[in-house]
Chains A and B, each alone.
Chain A
Amino acid sequence: MHDFTKTLAPSPFYDRIVAQSQTQNWAHWNGYQTPRVVDTVASEYFAVRSSCSVMDLTPMEKYRITGPDAKAFLNRLVVRDVSKLKPGRVTYVVWCNDEGKVIDDGTVFHLSEGVYRLCAQHHQLDWLRLSSIGFDVSIELETHDVAALSVQGPTSYSVLTEAGISGLETVKPFDIVHTQLDGFDITVSRTGFTGDLGYELWTEPENALALWDAIFEVKKRGLYDIRLIGLDALEMVRIEAGFIMPGWDFNTAETVIRDGYDRTPYELDLGWLVNLNKPYFTGKRALAAANKQPLKRKMVKLILDGNKVPSGSFIFDRKDGKNIGAVMAHSWSPILKRAIAYADIELINGQVPKEVSVEIYYQKELAWKLHWARAEVTDKPFWTPKRRSITPPDAY
């Protein structure tokens, strides 16, 4: 357990992160001091898309779920059927409250037979505990007991192989392998929050610095560029990849105050996760009922015309038309050379519109200007390179 009397705790990688930070620009993430920007956002962004990025993943909420009913517990918790998730596999999940409104999202790691790790965006111990009533299951918060690094980018496979981690050539997306590096145990999963080729590495905190050094040794040897990245660059790549952030892109169910401001998976375009044919899970009856009703609103992806970024923009059915929603997350996508956004919009006549108008306020020489941008609605991730999914990955 880390000491919660300290406002921001250092992660096991803290010494190395501080040494690399050019900006000392920090954010707090789940109680840890986390870099917002290490050097420049642009160089960090391109590390993910063009070479190799490293990010400290330790602050992410992690729970170890074990016991005879671990599988049944997880399957009752989440909307997706995870009963067939094999040991050594990972899957993306969301979970809902009784009313079928999304509480949080995360990933379930089936580490070994009957041993699971649940990663979550927000603290979930209370929800997991109350969901465990009637199940013979043990739920341990292990956020502070596991050091984790995310290594992402086209050269991540080559970098990790050079660092001494062998066997990655057969690791498929969402696979987990348990291996060794310099005599200590590490777990490697081919997962990430960037939509690119990438891996997440998990180990005991005492091995954290050795793991770090083994990776950055590859850079020292002059083989590959490797860059530590911060949250700002991550925000850009995760939007490109089509990943949503509970609590930022939409209200999480157990924190929302007013009725109707929380969202079902259907409204978040996550209906594909909901399995109404599996045994009962929290929110199933509500979701089955919601599924019979026509959808009223949806989180959609927008690709905008022009170079203006739709910060805090309202969405209209057409220029000066009806306000149908607002932008929830946005970014300039350097790799697409387009402005992209997620918007929470009402459907028009029960249909997702093919295009919408975005009212963008921007500054020119500090003077505020209004710009109407046409935006195309897309249902695919903005960025899905082939290298993300091919096995073995290309060695660069």
Chain B
Amino acid sequence: MTKNLSAIVIGGGHNGLVCATYLASSGVKTTLLEARETLGGGLSKQTLRDGTAVPGLIQTHHSLNDKIARELKLQSTPCEPLPTTLLSTSGEHITLMGDKVSGAGVSARDISEYRAFREEYLSYGKALKSLMLNTPPRLKHFDWSDKTVFAKLGLDLRFGLGKAGLNEFLRVAGMNLFDVLEERFSSELLKGGIAADALFGNHAGPKTPTTVLPMLMRLFQETGSTASRQVAQVDNLAGQLAEAAKSAGVEIKTSTTVHSVVMDNDKPTGVMLENGDILNADIIVSNADAKTTFLKLVGARNLDGMFTHRVTKTRTNGDVAKFFATFDATPKFTNLSQNASSGRFLVAPTLMYVERAFNHCKYGEFSEAPVLDIHLTTLDNGKSLLSANAMFAPYNLKQGWEAGRAAFEDKILDILSLYAPGIASQVACRELWSPTDIEKSFHIEGGHWHHGEMAIDQSFMMRPVPGAGQYGTPVPGLYLCGAAAHPGGDITGLPGRNAAKQILADLKGRR
């Protein structure tokens, strides 16, 4: 059924690679086109101005869903769970590792509560499994497969969680993180850390309504794999995915920028490259974000008016900047042993700190005191690299990023100095990628981590917009397979896998 059919996957981010591999494994002649020189999108290695090779946009991530790793036959790499240290100016840091929390200032009650919290919320995450691993059901004109997904989700929620669990899930699922965390924990540092970890990549503070949802989506990933792990230590996931794609028979072309989707008689017949070459295929799959896909590659002229409008109105402006600093010697953080000062650290001392950091970006300002997700590694040349996700750094910065860049770098170093006194003077080289840089360099409209806000109105069957929420789009034969599609961003491979499943089902004439 799928023999003699061809597909072009636009974009070699991890989801594009996953999707292409599934398609090729099923006998679809698949070509993957990537504009950059390297595959993996945010996972690919980058080079700083001074020539230092660094992990790219993504410094740490949860491992791919086990199911996908198995289905793609990825080599299993031993993965070291990475502790997360919540930094305190007093030096009373807290360390999170799996379900355990430790630190001098943590009460016994918070320790046991954290264990219970993890267990409970992981069960909520797990209950979303049938939604996450399937095409989201349509709300209108739904058929048998839509009903099946709804039924499975209902059963998982009701019988997976039990009556009390379901009640609690329904109570918290629409709540904000601030209220939920205030109910459960007493340590400000612990609450701030949990909130920051859940919010990274989103335009939201702990008090923003429905912020429990992105936390649940992130926790879902942990239910399918082990734990957070370090990109640098993993023998590069991007490389593994590229290998899997190649062995499945995917033809991969890097440094190949797609200019547009070629339409004939309102159907896509292929793509035109920047150099004018035309490649034909039966199916076009876009790993790009929705605005790039529809507004740039397909074009409003090939789309309906309201659909185009909806795409335009999706919230896709990123709020996270990436900061790099190299050091000749490992920087010293207060009260951290030499051994511990290589790993992952969060600067989010209280819930209100995170909330106040968020306030600024609503008005086009970067945070006076940013929230930081820091990763320290030792480079091959013996130098030390600090890479940090810094939020909130709005895409539309009032003064523009050319003017604001150095000031935000200084803000980050000011905050770092509170935890590692003198660190600013030890910096050998520093570099900041604003959301505008990320947009340009990674071809993501708005420079958004998740190709669009992971809020409830842009999730599930409404991701990225109604009408394109089931991987298929209003353009027959054009599909979305990236973070713009359900279930969204982070390194999960789920959009790529689910999209491939949907495409193959469509090709077989189901639905």
CA distance A282 to B295 in the complex (A): 15
| CB-nearest residue of chain A to B300 | A134
Number of residues of chain A lying within 8 A (CB) of chain B:
19
Chain A residue nearest to B307 (CB atoms) is: A98
* Inter-subunit contact B301/A285 (CB<8 Å): no
B91 proximal to A (CB < 8 A): no
CB of A282 within 8 A of CB of B306, answer yes
Within 8 A of A (CB), among B102-146: 140
Is the Cβ of B302 less than 8 Å from the Cβ of A98?
Answer: no
Check if A72 is an interface residue, CB within 8 A of chain B.
Answer: yes
A133 and B301 within 8 A (CB): no
B304 CB-CB contact with A under 8 Å: yes
Question: Is A279 within 8 A of B306, CB to CB?
Answer: no
Asked if B467 and A98 sit within 8 Å, CB to CB, the answer is yes
Most B CB atoms within 10 A — which of A97, A130, A259, A279? A130
If A127-B305, A280-B266 touch, whether A133 touches B300 (CB-CB below 8 Å) is yes
Q: Which residues of A contact B163 (CB under 8 A)?
A: none
User: A72 CA to B305 CA in the complex, in Å?
Assistant: 13
Q: By CB atoms of chain A within 10 A, which of B302, B303, B305, B307 has the most?
A: B305
A135 to B306, CA, bound (A): 14
Which residues from 34 to 93 on chain A have a C-beta closer than 8 Å to any C-beta of chain B?
Answer: 72, 76-77
Interface string of B288-312 (1 = CB under 8 A from A): 0000000100011111111111001
Interface size on B, residues (CB 8 A): 19
* A131 on the B face (CB < 8 A): yes
**Complex alpha-carbon distance, A279 and B266, angstroms:** 8
Count CB-based A-B contacts (< 8 Å). Answer: 53
Q: Which residues of A contact B263 (CB under 8 A)?
A: 280
Give per-residue flags for A132-170: 1 if the beta carbon is below 8 A from chain B beta carbons, else 0: 011100000000000000000000000000000000000
> At the interface, yes or no: A284 with Cβ under 8 Å from chain B?
yes
Q: Is B301's CB under 8 angstroms from A97's CB?
A: no
Identify which of residues 463-488 in chain B touch chain A, using a CB-to-CB cut-off of 8 Å: 467, 474, 476
CB distance B306 to A76 under 8 Å? no
A131 to B266, CA, bound (A): 18
Given A98-B474, A134-B295, A134-B299, the answer on whether A77 and B305 have CB atoms closer than 8 Å is yes
Q: How far is the CB of A244 from chain B (nearest CB, A)?
A: 22
CB-based nearest B residue for A75? B301
Q: How far is the CA of A280 from the CA of B305 in the complex (A)?
A: 11
Closest B residue by C-beta to A276: B266
Does A265 have its Cβ within 8 Å of any Cβ on chain B?
A: no
B474 contact set on A, CB distance < 8 A: 98, 285
Tell me, rounded to whole Å, the shortest Cβ–Cβ distance linking A24 to chain B. 42
The residues in A between 7 and 28 inclusive whose CB is less than 8 angstroms from any CB of B are: none
Could you tell me if B300 and A135 are in contact, using CB atoms closer than 8 angstroms? yes
Contact A130 B303 (CB under 8 A): no
B27 to chain A, nearest CB (A): 29
- Whether the Cβ atoms of B306 and A280 lie closer than 8 Å is no
Distance of B310 from chain A, by nearest CB (Å): 9
Give chain A interface residues in 78-135, CB to chain B under 8 Å. Answer: 97-98, 127, 130-131, 133-135
Residue among A131, A134, A285 facing the most chain B CB atoms (10 A cut-off): A134
Q: Are A133 and B302 in contact (CB under 8 A)?
A: no
Report chain B residues within 8 Å CB of A259: 140
Segment 307-362 of B: residues with Cβ below 8 Å from A: 307-309, 312
Chain A CB count within 10 A is highest, among B304, B306, B307, B308, for: B304
Chain A residues with CB under 8 Å of B302's CB are: 280
Please name all residues of chain B whose beta carbon is closer than 8 Å to the beta carbon of A134 when the two chains form the complex. 295, 299-301, 308
| A285 CA to B266 CA, complexed, in Å | 8
Contacts of B304 in A (CB 8 A): 97-98, 282-285
**In the complex the two chains form, what is the Cα distance from A2 to B263 in whole Å?**
44
Contacts of B266 in A (CB 8 A): 280, 284-285, 288
Q: Given contact pairs A98-B305, A133-B312, enumerate 10 new A-B contacts (beta carbons under 8 Å).
A: A76-B305, A97-B305, A130-B306, A131-B308, A134-B301, A280-B302, A282-B304, A284-B266, A285-B304, A285-B476
B interface residue numbers (CB < 8 A to A):
140, 263, 266, 295, 299-309, 312, 467, 474, 476
